């Protein structure tokens, strides 16, 4: 099933999501649907709040970016109840986008390296470190679980310049190639 993407202006995207248990109803189907929704929307990451579920789960498939960065080949994973326990290294900037913020791309500064603990779709536990684009995508998706969007990391001036675009998205004036919705 393909879900519409919940976009900016929806209070849902500002909530802190809840942890889930292994017994969460139809978790395997949900994860499959999230991968499918991400793929048809041309995203490399999708967090559960973006499909209207306030739970601590996101999926990543960075294979479409592997042409530019071969280290991303095969980086396809579900992260359940993740916890970033360390962010280290110098911050660096990279142009980010988000399915919930159609048509907006901005350079976002994030720490270079993270250590994260999480469970996969079979509830196997992992404790791993990531750097490069992988660390960036994970941090972006992780933010969604805490109600944070990439535009929150921009300078006050950049935010001001984006205000018009953001207001349009919140009014539903979006030209996205995938289906979107605002949940009030
Ligand atoms: Co996003």
pLDDT digits (tens, 9 = 90+) for 4-31: 999 999 999 999 999 999 999 999 999 9
Percent of the chain with pLDDT over 90: 98
Number of domain units in the chain: 1
Angle at 96 between CA 69 and CA 154, to 5 degrees: 140
- Range(s) of the domain holding residue 41: 5-181
Asked if residues 56 and 79 have their Cβ atoms less than 8 Å apart, the reply is no
List pLDDT tens digits, range 166-183: 999 999 999 899 999 999
Annotated catalytic residue: which of 18, 106, 128, 141? Answer: 141
| Cα separation, 157 vs 129, whole angstroms | 33
What distance in angstroms lies between residue 70's CA and the mean position of ligand 1's atoms? Answer: 22
Q: Please, which pLDDT band fits residue 126 given cuts at 50, 70 and 90?
A: very high
pTM value surpassing 0.85 = yes
Average pLDDT of the segment spanning 55-67: 97
Across the range 86-102, mean pLDDT stands at 98
Whether 141 is catalytic is yes
Give residue 49 CA to ligand 1 midpoint distance, Å: 10
The pLDDT of residue 77 is: 98
Once rounded to an integer, what is the mean pLDDT over residues 36-65?
Answer: 97
Find out whether 22 and 123 touch, Cβ atoms under 8 Å: yes
How much is the pLDDT for 5? 98
Distance 124 CA to ligand 1 centre (A): 25
Residues near 28 by beta carbon (within 8 Å), at least 6 away in sequence:
121
Residue 184's pLDDT band (cuts 50, 70, 90)? confident
* Cβ–Cβ < 8 Å for 86, 115: yes
The Å distance, Cα 112 to ligand 1 centre, comes to 18
140 Cα–ligand 1 center, Å: 6
Query: Would you say residue 50 has pLDDT above 90?
Result: yes
Tokens for 65, please give them. 């970016």
pLDDT of residue 175: 87
Ligand 1 centroid – CA 123 distance (Å): 24
CATH of the domain at 124: 3.90.45.10
Say if residue 121's pLDDT is above 90: yes
Q: What is the mean pLDDT of residues 56-70?
A: 96
């Amino acid at each position: 099933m393909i879900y519409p993407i919940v976009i900016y202006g929806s209070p849902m995207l500002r909530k802190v999501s809840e942890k889930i248990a292994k017994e969460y109803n139809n978790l395997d189907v949900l994860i499959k649907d999230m991968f499918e929704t991400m793929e048809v929307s041309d995203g490399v990451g999708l967090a559960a709040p973006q499909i209207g579920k306030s739970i601590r789960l996101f999926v990543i498939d960075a294979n479409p970016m592997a042409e530019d960065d071969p280290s991303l080949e095969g980086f396809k994973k579900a992260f359940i109840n993740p916890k970033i326990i360390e962010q280290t290294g110098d911050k660096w900037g990279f142009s980010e986008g988000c399915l919930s913020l159609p048509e907006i791309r901005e350079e976002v500064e994030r720490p270079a390296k993270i250590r994260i603990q999480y469970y996969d779709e079979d509830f196997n536990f992992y404790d791993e470190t990531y750097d490069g684009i992988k660390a960036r995508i994970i941090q972006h998706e992780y933010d969604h679980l805490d109600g944070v969007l990439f535009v929150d990391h921009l300078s006050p001036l950049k935010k001001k310049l984006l205000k018009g675009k953001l207001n349009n998205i919140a009014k539903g004036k979006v030209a996205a190639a995938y289906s979107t919705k605002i949940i009030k």
